[in-house]
Structure 1
């Protein structure tokens, strides 16, 4: 788990000079940052990490005169004696079972292509979606002709990574009722490294806002909706595959904007996103009784991150 020790990197030249190895500084002492494996810290390209005589270099590092140096900006991670740097700005590396939010980019025969912030588009097969009526059967040619009634270009959806094709592309599915087309909200994009793996990535805040934290860095902030009950009448295609947003009152719109701005601020300060942290951040913002747009102001942003880090 990441622990945000500092939220901004010094930019003066003296900083980079001081982080290099100095005869009066013991190399191994600089690795105390993660001795208990309870946190990681940010590093910059060219910054000294540790001695190559004590630790092995991994991805994102190189060796220079018996020193392990960071080659990318990111977080230092250590597994036993292996030290790596996980880049801040990188594409999403999927795993089976991951929850992702994506956007339909193309409709092809018996499949949809989905932008999931990965190295290549994911694939959603026609056989991997729920049909109207909730009937479990083989997809027919008539279903293929109606594919655009389910998803079309530009639609947002939440899905689960089911498997991988031979070329490495993700295979998605939306067979569960909690997956499918997204409406009544807005999309926020953050670095995938900031989204922590949680027991549930579906979060309902007390302000009437639902969050879907996609492990690919796509976060959906929307109006709260009741859980869909399939019941005896089967799947309601009008509710699941509709392109029309519901009426949203002004208070809910304000709450959605407030939560979205909080996420943007935390992402700008490289704060890992969890359900508890987002709830605490929202409660702190409510206590300030300021306007929604004030959250993005530098003074309030600094105060928000400072308050959250103090509680953490």
Structure 2
């Protein structure tokens, strides 16, 4: 494989494929040396940075860092904590002390708060949170002490490989079509109806009723169509191993609008290939 395409080249490779000469490049994760050649040991995306060649596996679990934004699903309610499926090697933990209480009051959590934990989050609920720390066994400790974090409503979840999520300045994205995106670094992406920042925070500050409500808002047909269109675009790009960012998604959405196709047409093979070609300038 030719790796002389630039300072940070990304290509799809398969196990056993010869990537380059071991005399000219250094082997990184996902590779090994055989007969003076650097060979891929996993199926994934090859990356070259200067003289270092690595392969990131297509199917892999999320390796978290402190400060990462993640989208997760509540898997279990335990005393003073929730277990959260965050696409990692083990469930993350959200402590009762790490969430906002109704009224936004910063106070010590009481026994009465523990008895009401299911009124905050219960099994199956989706939420967006931040990685706060790690426990001794390596599991993540999450927190939702921000008005931008908390329970998710009014949308749908799309799951992709964590390797396809680029680290951006902000992982909260609003598209001109009235759709909000939350790009979780763990590969869970939330596509939902746009919520204005003033509505999120409320005039009086923390809006506990909205944050912990299980009731979705009324969503008009145009917004539903836009949400489905964006979700299908993400699936198309993910199946073709295209790294996701705000600029790529906006460019892809505008292209699909120009083509004037219906949302189900996006999942057709030919249309998907044309979409990828348009955003990668192939």
Q: TM-score, normalised by structure 1?
A: 0.86
The residue aligned with 2:20 is 50
Which position in structure 1 is the counterpart of 2:228?
257
Distance 1:258 1:79 in 2: 34
Shift of 1:73: 1.0
Out of 271, 276, 280, the residue aligned to residue 300 of structure 1 is 271
Larger Rg: 1
Q: Deviations over 1:103-162 (max 9, x none)?
A: 000000100000000111000000100011110011111100000000000000000011
Alignment equivalent of 1:118, drawn from 58, 69, 88 = 88
Q: How far does residue 231 in structure 1 lie from its aligned partner after superposition?
A: 4.3
Taking the aligned partners of 2:228 and 2:93, their CA distance within structure 1 comes to 31
Aligned residues: 280
Alignment RMSD (CA, Å): 1.5
Q: Summarize the alignment of residues 221-260 of structure 1 with structure 2, pairs less than 5 Å apart.
A: 221-227=191-197, 228-232=200-204, 234-260=205-231
User: Could you state the TM-score of these two structures normalised by the residue count of structure 2?
Assistant: 0.95
Unaligned runs of 5+ in 2: none
Q: How does 1:88-167 map to 2 (within 5 A)?
A: 88-167=58-137
Q: Secondary structure at the match of 1:41?
A: strand
Q: 1:31 to 1:258 in 2, by over 3 A?
A: closer
Distance 1:281 1:80, change over 3 A: closer
Q: Distance in 2 between matches of 1:205 and 1:59?
A: 35
Answer yes or no: is 1:69 the counterpart of 2:49: no
CA distance, structure 2, for counterparts of residue 229 and residue 293 of structure 1 = 35
**How far is 1:67 from its partner?**
1.6
SS of 1:33's equivalent in the other structure is coil
Q: Which runs of 5+ in 1 are unaligned?
A: 1-18, 20-29
